[in-house]
Amino acid sequence: MHIPDAFIPIWQGGIYWIIALVFIALALKWAKNEMNEEKLPLVAVLAAGIFALQSFNLPVSMGTSGHLVGGALAAIILGSPFAAVFILTMVLIVQAILFGDGGITTLGVNIINMGVIGGFVGFYTFKGLKGVTKSMPIAAFVAAWLACVIPACACAVEMFFAGTFPLTEGLLAMGIYHAIIGVIEGVVTVAAIYLITTARPDLVDLGVKTVTGR
Amino acid sequence: MMDNKTFIIAGIIVALLIGVVAVFMASGDPDGLESTALVVQGQKQLTGATPPDVEIKEDMTGKFSYTAPMPDYSLGESMGTMGGSIAIIGGTILAFLVVLGLACAIKFAVKPAK
């Protein structure tokens, strides 16, 4: 759901940029205060992994493809929605500047959708469901699915404000396509959390997991 | 449990493998947003396949335009999948280095504000 420059007027892109900058500043503050030396490699490896996974478009039927976004993954693994903003901002900057995936004036709105909305929806859904279900896979799958679908709906509304999509038709198509793409998001997120917690249980705090051997 | 060095190396290898496999296996169908654009422009049915050679109509008036050096994760037609692999590998390593660099800069270079 990387919005290209052509889809949003420059002035609207500017407004989203200003909002995005507030969250980027908060994310930098998170990095400064919460990210310890132990977590630093995990943050960088997650950035590389999310970049690679975002280039992997899987067919989701109906002439459409989709890939992992990674907002929920980053937020859950690192225990903060601002971690998602931090990582997604960097990944989106590299994608926009070098690969033309997502625009420059629309970088702000893309950071809001995938980093901020994806990160917050993913993190708090996971936190809430983990408490209720006590199950990492269920909580992470639902969190990641919502972290794909809700930003997609936000994107449809932004496209309506930009005069690019009509509201209902845009919401319907974006919602349907991302409801399926969200399944990829869910499966990959659960698998990645499983792999990372197996390799380095000390780095991940999922809330209720007891770390053994320490 | 893996130490930091092994974890970083294993993580990057996994990321690079995913990226390179993506160059060969990734679907060429439009993504959710592009697909929606085609639907609202009447070029594609909501649940139907994407017709070959359709192009999203873009109204560039009042819009910003920028041409990236490696558009669509490729180095151009002539470089083919090799070019695509180089682009993805470069991008993955760059994403790692940019985040590592920034994180280190924030952690170690910036003096705590007092």
What is the ipTM for the molecules in this complex?
Answer: 0.92
Assign a CATH topology to domain A5-203: Arp2/3 complex 21 kDa subunit ARPC3 (1.10.1760)
Return the pLDDT at A207. Answer: 66
Domain ranges of chain A: 5-203
pLDDT beneath 70, residues of chain A: 207-214
Q: What chain A residue is nearest to B24 in terms of C-alpha separation?
A: A56
To the nearest whole Å, the CA of B17 is away from the closest chain A CA by 9
Whether B112 has a pLDDT exceeding 90, the answer reads: no
Distance from CA of B16 to the nearest CA of A (A): 7
pLDDT score, position B76: 83
**A79-93, A172-186, B6-20, B69-83, range with the lowest pLDDT:** B69-83
- Residue A25: what pLDDT? 97
A94 to B21: CB separation less than 8 angstroms, yes or no: no
What residue of B is the nearest CA neighbor of A56? B22
What are the DSSP calls for chain A, one per residue? ----GGGS-HHHHHHHHHHHHHHHHHHHHHHHHH--TTTHHHHHHHHHHHHHHHT-PEE-STT-EE----HHHHHHHHT-HHHHHHHHHHHHHHHHHHH-SS-STTHHHHIIIIIIIHHHHHHHHHHHHHHHH--HHHHHHHHHHHHHHHHHHHHHHHHHHTTSS-HHHHHHHHHHHHHHHHHHHHHHHHHHHHHHHHH-GGG---SSPPPP--
Which of B99, B100, B102 has the highest number of chain A CBs within 10 A, making it the mutation to test binding with A? B99
